[in-house]
Amino acid sequence: MTADEPDGLEHALGIVGQRWALLIVDRLRAAPLRYGDLQRDLGIPTNILATRLRELEQAGVLYRLPLKHNTRAYALTERGLELGDALDALRRWGASAPHPAT
């Protein structure tokens, strides 16, 4: 890789490296969720959730799914689903890491 070539890891972290981004993606792996469900499940502040959802949508990781009564859910795109193996690897890595003494 030369200095002029984009680094894949750097690009990926630009998309999903912000706090909460991968947790949002992980929650959406099972099924689409409404905004309020994501907020409640994750305990994420609403302003940050709105920002992360907008960023992930712009990056093509998720999309808004229209529901009845002018509500929406969020679902992963194929690109978002491709993060599944990376999330599983991070989960295994985190589970095997020593935990600090409390």
What is the SS3 string spanning 3-57?
CCCCCHHHHHHHHHCCCCHHHHHHHHCCCCEEHHHHHHHHCCCHHHHHHHHHHHH
Output the pTM of the full model. Answer: 0.86
Residues 6+ apart with CB under 8 A from 38: 24, 27, 28, 44, 49, 53, 74
The CATH architecture assigned to 16-94 reads: Orthogonal Bundle (1.10)
Domain residue extents for the chain: 16-94
1-35 pLDDT, tens digit per residue, is: 555 666 888 889 888 989 999 999 999 999 999 99
Q: Which amino acid is located at 7 in the chain?
A: D
37-69 pLDDT, tens digit per residue, is: 999 999 999 999 999 999 999 999 999 998 888
